């Protein structure tokens, strides 16, 4: 059923490695991978200074769907949306999402997304729910995330302290990945959507 | 046990967590798959442990692996285990995994129902939130049915965080369980006005999405959305609503009319491009829906186009793209406005961005004219050469064909040029659109008779180098053009210069590699060619040559006879036999050409593509009726074989049916022909309705032959159509000169003194470009009695059809949502455990703690009941709303310049916009327009208003100002269509034996910077037998309040009334007053002077009156939320004052209603017999009230930013309350 206003949210890096795959419509895993690959090739073909909308109709959903994406440093954030969503609005939403990530991870970089996919999902869940825009006010999103983090902390978190210690030892030579998704370099002239009064 | 736990936590130390897993995968780049399968084995072990933390950790890792493409559905049961963990940390992991991998086919999903219900009602909002989020991704019809009621309850949760999620997920529930829509809808609708902007936004989101799919069911919500649109400042909400209006306007053009003004204002005022863009889009939708009915909205179109141009010119590619997209929508209805920006569009064709170019291509369709077609196509052809991707090239190809063929080739003046363009396009490699080119070739050759000779020459050249076209396998698509080429050469073989050569080309062995359907056409047309050659040879008396051709046929045809394609084989063997027979006759020297040609005598006319579909079913023919009644099933036991047999037999019989009726049909056909012949109104389809071309001046001067000579197209591989650009220019130049000369002569003859004007300018205009050939485009034939319409049915598989539900019908008992009875719902502790209003019959036993709570519950419930009452006739309500101007529906919000502009604009439009203001008399207020009040804060009162309104509707004529003896409001002469608003606030001003004055203050605008303006409407009724004229209104201005007079007049002058009054007639005049300060009430003395004329003569008369401007009339009902209200009171810069009125008998409910109604307040909060109220003046003063009811008294404490205003207001209120 093409019942979703946002059909899929994909985050992958410059080499097409998925960092977040969130489908709001059921696709078998291999099809999901295929869609990620094809989407990657589609956006890869685009220069950086051309428009951020792609008609990826045949990919998912059909002709009513569009790919709207933004490219930050090493990562592509791609939303597949139908015509009920405002294109410019979704561009702003991606920005809100990335800024929220930046706030929650304190200078977000690709590594954060790699090692904390679960947290990225939790953040996304406060922005988009079941394929529908849930919240656009960043302060509200961050407040809810932090409240849940506190709750998790009070419960002792997932891994007990010893496990953490062990993992710290295991931390060995990682390839260098540029820090900072570099949120500053936006030149899209869409004024931020007004905050709730 | 303890040991086990210790062991578990030691094990934990060596478990991998998510980070370890990620790290491990990154360190095993070489054997990733192997490493992961190892990890999955570990995870399986972890899942077997009892420790929930271990399980959760395992599930978390699985979620990561799922992202990498691994199926994790085998762990569904473990995921459910983790979902039911008591700790939020684990629960969240479980729900995340479930949301990633559960779907309708997951069988264990039904085990989750109770767990989810438990989480939904958890005291922790984050447990509830996590459950809602998860559920939104995997809700199934069963889950939706079982949980709909729980979720609906959550829509009224105390926490906005839960409310917004619950509201949003309802959309999913509706989709999976459409029965829930009607019971849940009232509450959903209520959430449109939720105090929390996030919840409101979610509700807008859901309703907009529902409405987008089934707009007609949501038309009745238009007033509410309109209100939101004019009051909301949240761009997300605005965008959704504006998009929704775009979907609603096609259904209700009156709505569009109402929308134009506020949307235009938004376009002017907003700085957010996203909002601007959506506004433009909706204005376009409105204009499209209005295009038939409305006279002229050129200003709005101009505004849109102008704003879009700004977008397109922006350096931001996104804006450019969207601008072009929207432009193409305007193009459909208002091509002229878009054509003005042709330069921009052409410029975009060269953009480096393909998506921009594609959008620009869409626009080109409307940009072409006779004048520039050649030039534009030339540009496109050069793009075709340069294009890299086949998609873009194919798009270019279709666009070229589209723009050339549009409107019956309206823009083509030179078909030779067009044919050469088509031929050039055949050189495209790997296109999928060969058939399109072929269709065009056929169409042009058939319908443009004058071009046939040229077309045939080109096609024969094409056939000659067919090997080029059809050589590589890549070019498959393009070989379709050979189909057209073969047919054209065969059918119009009389135009062939070298028929024999073409014949040979068509009989080459290579042809057999072509697709079957093309070969079949080859075979058939070879015979046509053959017939033509025979005729030619016989006429030239060259029997040997004729025999040679026959011999060639006999030799070559067998290659087709062997074809695997049935069609080719059949045709070829027939024809081979025929040719062999001819050979025999030729051997006997019998002339055969005549007879062979007779096989193909007559002309084929083009048939319209829909012709077959449009053949009407003859009267009396029932296609669904049985031809033979099927024998009844009951008798036999071996049903299956019999059923098959039946079916086959039916089909068989049906096919044969026409044969059986052949005679009858022939008879009928004959009769019909006879009838048509005798019917003078029957128009036979005759060729050439394109007389226009022939009528054009200058056609006869075109030297057609000349151009034919300069056609250079025989050389294959050369871009031939380019030549035409130059040729065409020369031709036009000649044409122009010719015309100029002619004109000059004419002028010289007629009037020598007159200067030549516009000579060359004139010839630039589009109509002046005369076609190169005399063109007759043969129209496509339609069957006689063709039915005019052929609408396509809606897709029956549309999932949203299930949600096509009438929402206005009142709820029936049977529609209650299923409630789980066995759960102890009545021991609820938390406020969110409210009952669903529609299912609740009795209020709960009051508990002290819950008292306040119940009060809260009660209100929405009552509101709902009211809504149900209201919903009995939504259509009427909507009609009412639509028939009034924005003014009455817009919640007055003077602090917004946009809203003010709406009001002003509405009046400029000349529509009747009346907003009543109470004067000092209070009694007449009972029958006022309730629309202007914000409804949601005045629940009880609302009900009353509803009654009043329905009363009003029933007898609109009886509306009288209650001060008895006053005149009925009189309809303005200018108003024929729009009925008067069914309420009135007119009150008697003064009256004497001649005339009666009734007045109403109907529009107030103000700002802090400027003086405020009040427009007063005065109805003058002539009560005498005299004719009243020279009426003049003069008022003694006060320092504060002044009558606006025509420019140049002094303060002592009166203002003339712009009409005269015959006996018994009334009319309405409007006067504008400027008011400096609104803090005190004003009274102005004035005089109406006039001349009364009757049979006895005329007299000067006058009538004194007093105009009253109450302070209340400067208040505007403005909703205020309790938090904002509290903040306002805390701020401390408000002065305070109180009144108390005794001897009140009226109920508190009605009392509040009266205050709201007469004094333009809204209720902020009400607790028992105490209520806080709010209003705002046109100059931005806040007015806060605390109203308390005692035994028989009412006290009102007021706080206001202006003490004087508060004093005046309380005085006025006292007067109102004294009558209660």
User: Closest Cα partner for B182 from B802, B870, B860?
Assistant: B802
Q: Work out the minimum CA distance from A80 to partner chain B, whole angstroms.
A: 16
Q: What's the distance, CA B369 to chain centroid?
A: 29
Most confidently modeled range among A118-127, B996-1005, B1150-1159, B1199-1208:
A118-127
Residue in A47, A132, A158 nearest the CB of B168: A132
3-state secondary structure of B1077: coil
On whether any CB of chain A is under 8 Å from the CB of B843, the answer is no
Q: Residues, chain A, total?
A: 197
d(CA A159, CA A151): 15
β-bridge partners, B1084? B1107
Cβ contact (<8 Å) for A49 and B317? yes
| Per-residue pLDDT reduced to its tens digit, B333-364 | 777 888 888 888 888 888 888 778 888 888 88
Query: What's the predicted TM-score (pTM) here?
Result: 0.55
Q: What is the DSSP string of B606-641?
A: -B-TTHHHHPPPPTT--TTS-SSPPPPGGG-S-HHH
Pick from A72-81, B306-315, B471-480, B545-554: least confident:
B471-480
Contact between B998 and B967 (Cβ < 8 Å): yes
Q: A169 contacts in B (CB within 8 Å)?
A: none
Cβ contact (<8 Å) for A175 and B26? yes
Q: Closest-CA residue in chain B for A129? A: B133
Residue in A5, A50, A162 nearest the CB of B209: A5
Q: Work out the minimum CA distance from A42 to partner chain B, whole angstroms.
A: 12
As given in the structure block, the two tokens for residue B153 are: 């309850």
Cβ contact (<8 Å) for A86 and B234? no
Q: Taking residues B1121-1139, what's their average pLDDT?
A: 78
Residues in CB range of B589: below 8 A, 6 or more apart? B543
On whether any CB of chain B is under 8 Å from the CB of A15, the answer is no
Contact between A60 and B251 (Cβ < 8 Å): no
Give yes or no for residue A140 having a pLDDT over 90: yes
| Per-residue pLDDT reduced to its tens digit, A54-85 | 876 556 666 678 899 999 888 999 999 888 88
On whether any CB of chain A is under 8 Å from the CB of B161, the answer is yes
Contact between B428 and B478 (Cβ < 8 Å): yes
Whose tokens are 């590699």? That residue is: B513
pLDDT value of position B719? 45
For the purposes of burial, counting CB atoms within 10 Å of the CB of A183, is it exposed (0-12), middle (13-18) or buried (19 or more)?
Answer: middle
Cβ contact (<8 Å) for A121 and B96? yes
Residue in B13, B105, B273 nearest the CB of A88: B273
Most confidently modeled range among A48-62, B408-422, B686-700, B868-882:
B408-422
Give the number of beta-carbon pairs within 8 Å between A and B.
216
The model's confidence at residue A183, banded by pLDDT at 50, 70 and 90, is: very low
d(CA B935, CA B90): 45
On whether any CB of chain B is under 8 Å from the CB of A132, the answer is yes
pLDDT value of position A4? 65
Q: Work out the minimum CA distance from B868 to partner chain A, whole angstroms.
A: 29
Q: Closest-CA residue in chain B for A52? A: B318
Q: Taking residues B16-38, what's their average pLDDT?
A: 90
Cβ contact (<8 Å) for B92 and A3? no
Q: Closest-CA residue in chain B for A191? A: B272
Give the mutation candidate from A83, A111, A134, A167 for the B interface (greatest B CB count, under 10 A). Answer: A134
pLDDT value of position B790? 46
On whether any CB of chain A is under 8 Å from the CB of B202, the answer is yes
Residues in CB range of A158: below 8 A, 6 or more apart? A152, B17, B53, B56, B57, B60, B89, B90, B93
Cβ contact (<8 Å) for B104 and A47? no
pLDDT value of position A187? 35
Give yes or no for residue B733 having a pLDDT over 80: no
What is the value of ipTM here, to two decimals?
0.86
d(CA B676, CA B674): 5
The model's confidence at residue B977, banded by pLDDT at 50, 70 and 90, is: very low
Angle, helices B222-231/B897-908, rounded to nearest 10 degrees: 130
Q: A156 contacts in B (CB within 8 Å)?
A: 89
d(CA B962, CA B951): 15
d(CA B961, CA B966): 6
Give the mutation candidate from A46, A105, A187, A196 for the B interface (greatest B CB count, under 10 A). Answer: A196
Cβ contact (<8 Å) for A188 and B316? yes
| Per-residue pLDDT reduced to its tens digit, B43-96 | 999 999 888 999 999 999 999 999 999 999 999 999 999 999 999 999 999 999
Sheet containing B1066-1075: order of strands: B987-991, B995-1005, B1012-1022, B1066-1075, B1041-1043
Give the mutation candidate from B317, B392, B801 for the A interface (greatest A CB count, under 10 A). Answer: B317
Give yes or no for residue B791 having a pLDDT over 50: no
On whether any CB of chain B is under 8 Å from the CB of A144, the answer is yes
Sheet containing A18-23: order of strands: A18-23, A6-13, A75-81, A66-72, A53-54
Name the DSSP letter for residue B781. B
Contact between B18 and B66 (Cβ < 8 Å): no
More confident residue, B4 or B1105: B1105
d(CA B915, CA B98): 56
Q: Work out the minimum CA distance from A85 to partner chain B, whole angstroms.
A: 8
Give yes or no for residue B555 having a pLDDT over 80: yes
d(CA B267, CA B263): 6
pLDDT value of position B173? 93
Residues in B 23-42 with any Cβ partner in A closer than 8 A: 23, 26-27
On whether any CB of chain B is under 8 Å from the CB of A184, the answer is no
Cβ contact (<8 Å) for A136 and B197? no
Contact between B1128 and B1122 (Cβ < 8 Å): no
| Per-residue pLDDT reduced to its tens digit, B230-256 | 888 888 889 889 988 888 888 887 888
pLDDT value of position B678? 60
d(CA B387, CA B392): 7
Q: Taking residues B262-279, what's their average pLDDT?
A: 87
pLDDT value of position A61? 61
Give yes or no for residue B105 having a pLDDT over 90: no
Q: H/E element holding B989?
A: strand B987-991
- In order of start, what are the domains of chain A with their CATH numbers? 6-157 (3.30.450.60)
CB atoms within 10 A of CB B751: 8
């Amino acid at each position: 059923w093409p019942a979703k206003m946002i059909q899929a949210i994909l985050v992958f890096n410059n080499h097409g490695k998925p960092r977040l795959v969130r489908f709001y419509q059921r696709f078998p895993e291999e099809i999901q991978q295929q869609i990620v690959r094809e989407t990657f090739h589609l956006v890869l073909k685009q220069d950086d200074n051309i428009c951020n909308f792609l008609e990826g109709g045949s990919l998912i959903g059909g002709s009513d769907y569009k790919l709207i994406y933004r490219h930050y440093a090493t990562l592509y954030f791609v939303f597949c949306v139908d015509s009920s969503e405002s294109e410019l609005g979704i561009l702003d939403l991606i920005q809100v999402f990335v800024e929220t990530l930046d706030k929650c991870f304190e200078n977000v970089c690709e590594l954060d997304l790699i090692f904390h996919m679960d947290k990225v999902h939790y953040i996304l869940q406060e922005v988009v729910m079941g394929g529908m825009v849930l919240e656009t006010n960043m302060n509200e999103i961050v407040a809810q995330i932090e409240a849940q983090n506190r709750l998790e902390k009070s419960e002792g978190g997932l891994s007990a302290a010893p496990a953490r210690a062990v993992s710290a030892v295991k931390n060995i030579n990682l390839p260098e990945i540029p820090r900072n998704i570099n949120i500053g370099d936006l030149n899209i002239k869409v004024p931020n959507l007004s905050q709730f009064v | 046990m303890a040991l086990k736990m210790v062991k578990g936590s030691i094990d934990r130390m060596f478990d991998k967590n998510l980070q370890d897993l990620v790290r491990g995968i990154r360190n095993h780049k070489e054997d990733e798959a192997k490493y992961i399968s190892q990890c999955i084995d570990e995870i399986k072990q972890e899942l077997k442990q009892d420790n929930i933390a271990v399980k959760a950790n395992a599930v978390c890792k699985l979620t990561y692996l799922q992202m990498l493409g691994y199926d994790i559905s085998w762990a569904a049961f473990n995921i459910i285990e983790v979902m039911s963990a008591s700790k939020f940390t684990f629960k969240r992991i479980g729900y995340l995994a479930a949301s990633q991998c559960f779907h309708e086919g997951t069988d264990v999903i039904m085990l989750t129902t109770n767990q989810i219900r438990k989480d939904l009602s958890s005291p922790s909002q984050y447990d509830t939130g996590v459950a809602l989020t998860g559920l939104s991704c995997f809700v199934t019809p069963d889950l939706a049915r079982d949980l709909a009621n729980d979720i609906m309850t959550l829509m009224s949760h105390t926490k906005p965080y839960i409310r917004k999620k619950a509201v949003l997920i309802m959309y999913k529930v509706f989709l999976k369980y459409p029965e829930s829509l009607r019971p849940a809808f009232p509450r959903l609708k209520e959430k449109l006005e939720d105090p929390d902007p996030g919840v409101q936004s979610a509700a807008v989101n859901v309703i907009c999405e529902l409405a987008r799919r089934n707009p007609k069911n949501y038309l009745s919500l238009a007033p509410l959305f309109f209100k939101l649109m004019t009051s909301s400042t949240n761009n997300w909400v605005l965008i959704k609503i504006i998009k929704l209006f775009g979907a609603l306007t096609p259904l209700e053009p009156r709505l569009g009319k109402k929308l134009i003004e506020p949307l235009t204002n938004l376009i002017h005022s907003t700085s957010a491009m996203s909002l601007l863009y959506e506004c433009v889009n909706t204005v376009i939708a409105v204009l499209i829906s209005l295009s038939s009915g409305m006279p002229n909205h050129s200003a709005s179109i101009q505004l849109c186009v102008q704003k879009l141009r700004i977008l397109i010119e922006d350096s931001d590619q996104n804006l450019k793209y969207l601008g072009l997209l929207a432009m193409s929508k305007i193009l459909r209805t208002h091509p002229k406005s878009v054509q003005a920006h042709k330069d921009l569009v052409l410029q975009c064709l060269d953009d480096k961005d393909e998506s921009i170019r594609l959008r620009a291509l869409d626009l080109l369709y409307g940009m072409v004219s006779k004048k520039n077609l050649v030039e534009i196509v030339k540009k496109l052809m050069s793009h075709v050469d340069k294009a890299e991707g086949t998609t873009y090239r194919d798009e270019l190809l279709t666009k070229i064909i589209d723009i050339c063929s549009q409107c019956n080739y309206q823009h083509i003046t030179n078909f030779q040029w067009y044919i050469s363009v088509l031929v050039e396009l055949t050189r495209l490699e790997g296109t999928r659109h060969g058939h399109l080119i072929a269709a065009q070739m056929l169409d042009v050759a058939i319908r443009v008779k004058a071009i046939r000779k040229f077309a045939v020459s080109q096609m024969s050249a094409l056939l000659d180098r067919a090997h080029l076209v059809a050589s590589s396998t890549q070019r498959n698509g393009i070989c379709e053009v050979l189909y057209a080429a073969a047919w054209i050469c065969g059918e119009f073989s009389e135009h062939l210069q070298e028929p024999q050569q073409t014949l040979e080309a068509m009989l080459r062995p290579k042809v057999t590699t072509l697709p079957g359907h093309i070969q079949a056409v080859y075979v058939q047309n070879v015979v046509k060619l053959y017939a033509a050659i025979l005729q030619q040879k016989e006429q030239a008396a060259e029997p040997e040559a004729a025999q040679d051709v026959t011999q060639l046929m006999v030799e070559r045809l067998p290659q087709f006879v062997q074809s695997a394609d049935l069609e080719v084989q059949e045709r070829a063997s027939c024809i081979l036999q025929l040719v062999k027979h001819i050979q025999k006759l030729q051997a006997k020297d019998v002339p055969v050409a005549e007879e062979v040609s007779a096989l193909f005598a007559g002309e084929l006319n083009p048939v319209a593509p829909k012709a077959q579909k449009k053949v009407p079913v003859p009267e009396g023919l029932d296609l669904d009726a049985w031809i033979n009644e099927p024998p009844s099933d009951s008798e036999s036991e071996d049903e299956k074989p019999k059923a098959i047999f039946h079916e086959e037999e039916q089909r068989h019989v049906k096919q044969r049916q026409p044969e059986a009726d052949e005679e009858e049909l022939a008879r009928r056909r004959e009769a019909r022909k006879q009838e048509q012949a005798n019917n003078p109104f029957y128009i036979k389809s005759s060729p050439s309705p394109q007389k226009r071309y022939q009528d054009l001046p200058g056609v006869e001067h075109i030297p057609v032959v000349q151009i034919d000579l300069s056609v250079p197209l025989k050389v294959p591989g050369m871009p031939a159509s380019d030549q035409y650009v130059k040729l065409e220019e020369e031709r036009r130049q000649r044409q122009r000169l010719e015309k100029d000369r002619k004109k000059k002569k004419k002028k010289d003859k007629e009037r020598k003194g007159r200067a030549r004007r516009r000579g060359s300018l004139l010839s630039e205009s589009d109509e002046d470009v005369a076609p190169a050939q005399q063109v007759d485009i043969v129209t496509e034939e339609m069957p006689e009695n063709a039915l005019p319409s052929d609408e396509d049915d809606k897709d029956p598989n549309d999932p949203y059809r299930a949600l096509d539900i009438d929402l206005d019908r009142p709820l029936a008992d049977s529609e209650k949502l299923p409630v789980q009875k066995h759960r102890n719902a009545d021991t609820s502790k938390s406020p969110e455990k409210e009952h669903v209003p529609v299912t609740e019959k009795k209020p709960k036993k009051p508990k002290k703690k819950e008292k306040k709570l119940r009060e809260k519950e009660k209100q929405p419930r009552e509101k709902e009941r009211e809504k149900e009452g209201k919903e009995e006739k939504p259509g009427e309500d909507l009609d009412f709303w639509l028939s009034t101007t924005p003014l009455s529906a817009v919640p007055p919000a003077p602090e917004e310049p946009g809203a003010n502009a709406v009001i002003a604009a509405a009046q400029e439009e000349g529509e009747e916009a009346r907003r009543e203001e109470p004067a000092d008399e209070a009694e007449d207020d009972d029958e006022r327009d309730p629309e202007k009040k914000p409804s949601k804060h005045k629940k009880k009162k609302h009900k009353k208003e509803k009654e009043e309104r329905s009363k009003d509707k029933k007898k609109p004529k009886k509306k009288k100002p209650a001060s008895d003896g006053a005149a009925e409001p009189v309809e303005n002469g200018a108003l024929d269509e729009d009925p008067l608003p069914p309420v009135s606030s007119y009150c008697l001003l003064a009256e004497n034996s001649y005339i009666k004055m009734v007045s109403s203050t109907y529009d107030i605008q103000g700002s802090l910077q400027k003086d405020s303006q009040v427009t007063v409407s005065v109805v003058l009724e002539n009560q005498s037998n005299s004719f009243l004229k020279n009426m003049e209104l003069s008022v003694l201005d006060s320092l504060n309040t002044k009558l606006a007079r025509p420019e140049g007049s002094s303060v002592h002058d009166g203002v003339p009334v712009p009409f005269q009054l015959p006996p018994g007639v009334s009319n309405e005049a409007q006067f504008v007053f400027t008011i400096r300060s609104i803090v005190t009430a004003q009274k102005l003395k004035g005089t109406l002077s006039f001349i009364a004329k009757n049979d006895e003569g005329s007299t000067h008369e006058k009538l004194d009156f007093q105009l009253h401007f109450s302070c209340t009339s400067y208040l505007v009902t403005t909703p205020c939320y309790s938090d904002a209200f509290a903040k306002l009171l805390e701020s401390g810069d408000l002065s305070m004052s109180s009144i108390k009125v005794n001897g009140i008998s009226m109920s508190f409910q009605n009392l509040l209603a009266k205050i709201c109604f007469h004094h333009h307040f809204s209720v902020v909060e009400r607790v028992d017999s105490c209520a806080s109220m709010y209003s705002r003046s046109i100059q931005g003063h806040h007015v806060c009230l605390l109203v308390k009811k005692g035994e028989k008294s009412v006290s009102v404490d007021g706080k206001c930013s202006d003490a004087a205003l508060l004093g005046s207001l309380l005085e006025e209120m006292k007067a109102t309350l004294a009558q209660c």
